[in-house]
Structures are given as C-alpha cells and as structure tokens.
C-alpha cells in the first residue's frame, strides 16, 4: 500500500509539472506578465514590443519591453519605451524608462 501511495504522489507531481508547461499554462502566464507590467507602467496605451524574454528559473525574471505615450502634459503624447522585469517568485512587475534602446532621430 505504501508503494502505491508513493507512486500515485510521484505521478501527480509529474502531471502537475507537465500541466504547468502546457501551451495553455504559458498563455495564462504571458497574460499575467502583460497585465502586471502594463499596470506598473507609467505609459498610456502601453503595448508589448515583441514577445517576453523568459530568463532561466535561476534568474527568476521575465523581461518585457513596452511602448506607449508619456502621460505628462508637457510631453505632448510623445512615444516612450519602458523595460519591465517581472519577478516570477513575488509576482511583481518593476519598470524603468528605456528610450535609449532605439537610436535618437536627429533633426535635419
């Protein structure tokens, strides 16, 4: 009876791991990251630029680049870019301005 219980526990753990990496689970995780990063962003109409970068679990973060408009009146709706780091363990998003990712356009 003990061996059967242990086998059942092992199979349950394995099923949970397989389910956690299913396409449905990844889609749900991506949706959570996007929602958390968008909420943490200071940009209006923030949208992702490309797909999130999934770092190794030892690092514990997912990175997502967002673009939108600066909400401050003096910015006059200028486009801005922010980098969001989503902490997988704490489920917290941290953002920083990252307009320097794109080369500045020089006036001619």
Convert the pLDDT of each residue in 4-14 to its tens digit: 443 334 434 44
Degrees, nearest 5: CA angle 90-33-20: 80
Residue 89 — pLDDT band, cuts 50, 70, 90? very high
Q: What are the counts of helices (DSSP H) followed by strands (DSSP E) for the chain? A: 2, 5
Q: How is the chain split into domains, by residue range?
A: 2-101
**% helix, strand, coil for the chain, step of 5:** 40, 30, 30
* Residue 11 vs residue 50, higher pLDDT: 50
Residue 3 — pLDDT band, cuts 50, 70, 90? very low
Residue 2 above 90 pLDDT?
no
Residue 47 above 50 pLDDT?
yes
pTM of the model: 0.74
């Amino acid at each position: 009876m003990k061996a059967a219980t242990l086998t059942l526990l092992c199979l349950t753990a394995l099923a949970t791991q397989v389910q956690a990496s299913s396409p449905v689970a990844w889609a749900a995780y991506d949706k959570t990251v996007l929602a958390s990063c968008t909420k943490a962003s200071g940009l209006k109409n923030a949208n992702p630029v490309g797909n999130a970068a999934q770092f190794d679990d030892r690092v514990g973060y997912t990175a997502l680049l967002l673009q939108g408009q600066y909400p401050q009146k003096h910015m006059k709706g200028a486009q801005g870019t922010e980098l969001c780091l989503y902490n997988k363990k704490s489920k917290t998003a941290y953002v920083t301005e990252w307009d320097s990712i794109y080369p500045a356009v020089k006036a001619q």
